[in-house]
Amino acid sequence: MISPLAYIHPEAIIGNNVEIAPFVYIDSNVVIGDNNRIMPHATILYGSRIGNGNTLFPGAIIGAIPQDLKFKGEESTAEIGDNNIIREHVTINRGTAAKGRTVVGNNNLLMENVHVAHDSIIGNGCVIGNSTKMAGEIIIDDCSIISAAVLMHQFCRVGGYGMIQGGTRFSKDIPPYIIAGREPVAYCGINIVGLRRRGFTNEQIEQIHNAYRIIYQSNLNTTDALKEVEEKIPMSKEIEYIINFIRDSKRGIVR
């Protein structure tokens, strides 16, 4: 299962049933779990932590030092969970002193040429399209779909269960359950098809839709709109998520 043409540092920890192809490079201070498949020319550098059942395609680079001039060589990690598909030439950098780690959760698909910068956090069940670039310290919540060639400004957050259209660039937060796109970026409605595929009921979808009608179509400022949502929409975990996400936003939300 391990090619003699691969380089594995003697201090690296490799789990059971791991397939390591020719010309793979695995550095020191690396931990790789069970049942992973690492294809030719993948590079796993110092500080990488990889869970179980992942597939790394040719040219993927995990754990390279941050592209951040503030980085001074401090100890940090790049952590990947379980059952992820990391396609060709994906780069996932280590963290910096800011958070100390970059995290990719479980069951994600990162397509060809995606870049995940230092201290970013990607949740579970996300799909990230070809050539999408994430700047430092971004957060993507669970079950997000990010289309191809999306540019994400540092410190932005993307809410769960939404979709960002291809070629979008943004520097503000994108709330959960919505579609965002156009140029400049704007709210394009809720992600009805995606919500139905994820098992949301018609009642849940209608409540989400009603909340966003108030937030985006009532001409109220954000503070007053959220108060009206609390007063008029029955509280549920979906509505609570929307309200808390927007109130906690430091960059403001896309309009």
Catalytic residues: 118-119, 136
DSSP the chain: -B-TTSEE-TT-EE-SS-EE-TT-EE-SS-EE-SS-EE-TT-EE-TTEEE-SS-EE-TT-EEEEPPS-TT--S---EEEE-SS-EE-TT-EEE---TTTSEEEE-SS-EE-TT-EE-TT-EE-SS-EE-TT-EE-TT-EE-TT-EE-TT-EE-TT-EE-TT-EE-TT-EESSBB-TTEEEETTTTEEEEE-HHHHHHTT--HHHHHHHHHHHHHHHHS---HHHHHHHHHHHS---HHHHHHHHHHHH-SS-B--
